[in-house]
Amino acid sequence: MNVVANLPPGWIMIAGALVLLLAVPRTMHSLGVLVVSAISLVSFLYRFSFSEDVTFGNIELFGAQLQMVRVDKFSRVFALVFHIAAIVAAIYALHLRDTKQSIAAMVYAGAAIGAACAGDLVTLFVYWELTAISSVILVWATNTETAYRSGMRYLIIQVASGVLLLSGAIFQFVQTGSLAFESFVVDGQSLSPAGILVLLAFGIKCAFPLLHNWLQDSYPNATPTGTVFLSAFTTKLAVYSLIRGFAGYEPLIWIGCAMTLFPIVFAVIENDLRRVLAYSLNNQLGFMVVGIGIGSELALNGTVAHAFCHIIYKSLLFMSMGAVMLRVGTTKATELGGLHKSMPWTTAYCMIGAGAISGFPLLSGFISKSMIISAAGEAHLFWVWIVLLIASAGVMEHSGIKIPFFAFFAHDSGKRVDEAPLNMLVAMAIAAAFCIGLGVAYPLLYRILPFDVDYHPYTVTHVVTQLQLLMFAGLAFVFLMKSGLYPDEKRATVLDTDWVYRRALPKFVRGLRVTVDTVGGSMRGDTNVVLQSFYQNAKSTFDENGILGRTWSSGTMAFWTTVLLATCLGIYYF
């Protein structure tokens, strides 16, 4: 028992996955995930109190000092919310009888928790790749050709991110002799090569603009339950890592601004509602990246709080769409509508999630997102502040209105289905309770944030202005709908940066191959002609009738020999 108690955070889940796989009957696997996740949470809370930092597992490997476990004010919050997300998602997946998904999900959650508590870059790298490899199974488990290919692209990109991280770690070790995972930002200096590589690795996982498209590509292709796990861990692990390594790195502010803005425009025209949620996830990550870039205590508190709330309301939204997916078989807006009649509970939970992400007062987004916006105000970053306000109106558009409206209301699609299974409803209820709980009992969350909090979300100004923004955005929606200006839902594929590697590059490569073939073919032809004529010449000269090949008579030979000798004699004398 002592061994179990001393396992690094996350290992209980990874080891538990092995035990489930080897020793527990298949039908119990999804229940096993829930039990093991709960044990892991209890053990975590018991061992890592919120008052002191804990480090252990220092080992030396090839002359480098590794620190497998470091639990401090940052890792603690993330490990805690990862546990909560894992447990809620495990309840959501209770009806599953799919060993592959159960085991993969648990290893994935365990690896994410382990990574959040890693003290050095190599340990981080190991967990980093483990999250990639375990999570791709959740995409592949859909068992379609599309999902398989999308999973392959996902895996390649995720593993590439890990390779960049490892390269960064090696650079760092060569340069400083240490592998410790500390901040790469030094005031007044540009990033070291190691810092750039690691930032790129984090940037891929955090879905920075232009590196983002794996997210919209893969998440909607995963299984209904798989997407819930996916939405919680990978990108927020990247957010955590960015806080650790790059807090206060100014370019992140602008990267974050771009991240909050462009996905909302894509989300307006996207038909697949799970893909809309993926864009919305991207937009929410933007808020966090802005917070990390600002780097003040308020901003970092806001980022951690927002990540915490976000994991839960985004899970809730993906859970509601997963329930729709399970019952209707699609999440395309064109094929949905009117589902509030047959799935009233799912509708209600989805609307709570939508309210939370939009930042309605009394719900979780209100108390976390506003910290980041206030931090931008305190740093007197006027344009950043404006961008975040625009982005907030955008969140209201795609997640606050579009998701619930087109799935559950809008035009009745005539589809009549069963309400979601009980376990899914329970999981959604828990997540919804968290959304409300965090919005109301916010001091509980503020207490566990990295820095002391001196922020009061429920001021008259804040409540009124936030409500103004949201309600007038809602009014704009009604206005656009009534006037027919709101774009119709249309069955379509929306191109994004994945077009580059799914269409442009393959086309380019195909074109290149044709060119090479053509040029190669013609060159081969010419060479053949030259060789042929050379061969013909040689043949006609050397064969039995050729000048050098035929048998010469003795007289002729004697004559030519005499000529040769005479020539030599002549040369010798003169």
Residues in the site for other proteins, rule: CB under 8 A?
A: 146, 264-269, 338, 340-342, 377-378, 380, 382, 385, 389-390, 393-394, 396-397, 409, 412, 416, 418, 459-461, 464-480, 485-487, 490-496, 502-503
64: which strand partners?
Answer: 61
Nearest to 80 by CA among 450, 331, 464: 450
58: which strand partners?
Answer: 67
- How many C-beta neighbours within 10 Å does residue 524 have? 10
Contacts of 213 (CB under 8 A, 6+ apart): 496, 497, 498
Residues 367 and 442 sit within 8 Å (Cβ to Cβ): yes
Residues 362 and 356 sit within 8 Å (Cβ to Cβ): no
Query: With b meaning 16 or more CB within 10 Å and e meaning fewer, what string describes 396-416?
Result: bbbbbbbbbbbbbbbeebebe
Residues 122 and 66 sit within 8 Å (Cβ to Cβ): yes
* DSSP secondary structure letter of residue 573: H
Residues 258 and 209 sit within 8 Å (Cβ to Cβ): yes
The least CB distance from residue 140 to other proteins, in Å, is 17
Nearer to other proteins, 279 or 308 (CB): 279
The least CB distance from residue 370 to other proteins, in Å, is 12
Residues 259 and 286 sit within 8 Å (Cβ to Cβ): yes
Contacts of 314 (CB under 8 A, 6+ apart): 231, 232, 277, 280, 281, 284, 353, 357
- How many C-beta neighbours within 10 Å does residue 386 have? 12
The least CB distance from residue 378 to other proteins, in Å, is 7
CA 109 to chain centre: 14
Query: What is the Cα–Cα distance from 326 to 334, expressed in whole angstroms?
Result: 17
The least CB distance from residue 449 to other proteins, in Å, is 21
As given in the structure block, the two tokens for residue 305 are 């709080």
Q: H-helix or E-strand containing 230?
A: helix 224-246
Residues 167 and 175 sit within 8 Å (Cβ to Cβ): no
The least CB distance from residue 199 to other proteins, in Å, is 28
As given in the structure block, the two tokens for residue 543 are 């064969």
Query: What is the Cα–Cα distance from 523 to 529, expressed in whole angstroms?
Result: 10
Residues 158 and 235 sit within 8 Å (Cβ to Cβ): no
The least CB distance from residue 203 to other proteins, in Å, is 23
Query: With b meaning 16 or more CB within 10 Å and e meaning fewer, what string describes 256-293?
Result: bbbbbbbbbebbbebbbbbbbbbbbbbbbbbbbbbbbb
Nearer to other proteins, 146 or 528 (CB): 146
CA 395 to chain centre: 19
